[in-house]
Amino acid sequence: MTEADDVVIRVPAASPERIVLEGRYARLEPLDPARHADDLFAAIAFDAETRHRWLFDHAPATTEALREWMEGASRSSDPLFHAVVDGATGRAGGRQSLMRITPEHGVVEVGNILWGEGIAGTRIATEALYLTARYVFETLGYRRFEWKCNDLNEPSKRAAERFGFTFEGVFRQHMVVKGENRDTAWFAMLDRDWPRLKAGYEAWLDPKNFDVEGRQKDRLRFA
């Protein structure tokens, strides 16, 4: 008997919706060009090319170019985009999506992640990932939550492991992105992993884990 033999399989999962996911430090809002374009452009403008290096879309040269891209992205249901908003300032500091949404198998991926300098590496970004995972597993009923990235993208691979995703291997020549070959590193967390991971996230996100400057006291870890 394998570990999965005694797991009750419930499919299909529900499709994600354009709703707000509210946390203590972060808020995920359905991507809205009118509301978020100016903030997002300001959050990424100084290093947009670097932050778009591994993304499917190109760095916008102007706010209008970003707004034009967002017009299409905000209407898409797969990927389904959210802006990552700093709960303290109300400003959008990044965006991400749920994508490759497969309710019939209970599988969904988080991707198109662009967190600006103001939120990357902070509790805002970590809570954004936590809110997404909680929504995927607890509200929508997915069995598998994936993170994929270019195998050359070392920061993304480190982030996946920090967030509790398990490395599963590399799909060689998986796709072509911006005219370049992409070997894709696959990571995932499963529904049976979630109670343990959730406890780790909630312990780390507890206000008592941060000093007055918002710096962590203990690192994110999972028992």
Q: Give pLDDT, residue 46.
A: 87
User: What pLDDT shows up at residue 7?
Assistant: 64
Beta bridge partners of 182: 175
Confidence band for 8, pLDDT divided at 50, 70 and 90 = confident
User: pLDDT for 38-73, tens place per residue?
Assistant: 999 999 988 999 999 999 999 999 999 999 999 999
The confidence score (pLDDT) of residue 3 equals 54
Q: Which domains does the chain have, with CATH numbers?
A: 21-207 (3.40.630.30)
- Provide the percentage of residues in the chain whose pLDDT is more than 70: 97
pLDDT at 120 over 60: yes
Nearest to 26 by CA among 173, 137, 134: 134
Cβ neighbours of residue 130 closer than 8 Å, sequence gap 6 or more: 23, 198, 201, 202, 205
Residues 6+ apart with CB under 8 A from 44: 51, 59, 114, 116
Against a cut of 0.85, is the pTM above it? yes
d(CA 4, CA 153) in angstroms, rounded, equals 31
The amino acid sitting at 50 is T
- Per-residue confidence (pLDDT) for residue 1, from 0 to 100: 45
- CA dihedral of 138, 141, 146, 147, whole degrees rounded to 10: -30
pLDDT (tens digit, 9 = 90+) per residue, 169-212? 999 999 999 999 999 999 999 999 999 999 999 999 999 999 99
The pLDDT confidence band at residue 9, using thresholds 50, 70 and 90, is confident
What per-residue confidence (pLDDT) applies to 6? 57
The one-letter code for the residue type at 185 is A
Q: Is the model's pLDDT at 5 over the cut of 60?
A: no
